[in-house]
Amino acid sequence: MGYFDFGVGLAFILMIISTIASVVYGAMNWNKDAYVKPPKFVKEWKKTEKKIEDEL
């Protein structure tokens, strides 16, 4: 790292830190916030859309 000046060295470190932070965030939340059953209105909307598609 001695070959970089402060500005480029900082960019290099932040690049690595940003990647590590993203990897850690992704790994820690890998199984969180899973899909839950859609609200009722979505089912109704899907039915309506299918009807329109069929008519067309």
Query: Do 27 and 38 touch, CB atoms closer than 8 A?
Result: no
Per-residue interface string for the shown chain with other proteins, residues 1-40, x marking contact by CB under 8 A? --xxxxxx--xx-xx--xx-xxx-xxx-xxxxxxxx--x-
Query: Do 12 and 1 touch, CB atoms closer than 8 A?
Result: yes
Query: Do 5 and 12 touch, CB atoms closer than 8 A?
Result: no
Which of 43, 44, 45, 51 touches other proteins (CB under 8 A)?
Answer: 45
Asked if 44 touches other proteins (CB under 8 A), the answer is no
| Residues forming the site for other proteins (CB under 8 A) | 3-8, 11-12, 14-15, 18-19, 21-23, 25-27, 29-36, 39, 42, 45, 49-50, 52-53, 56
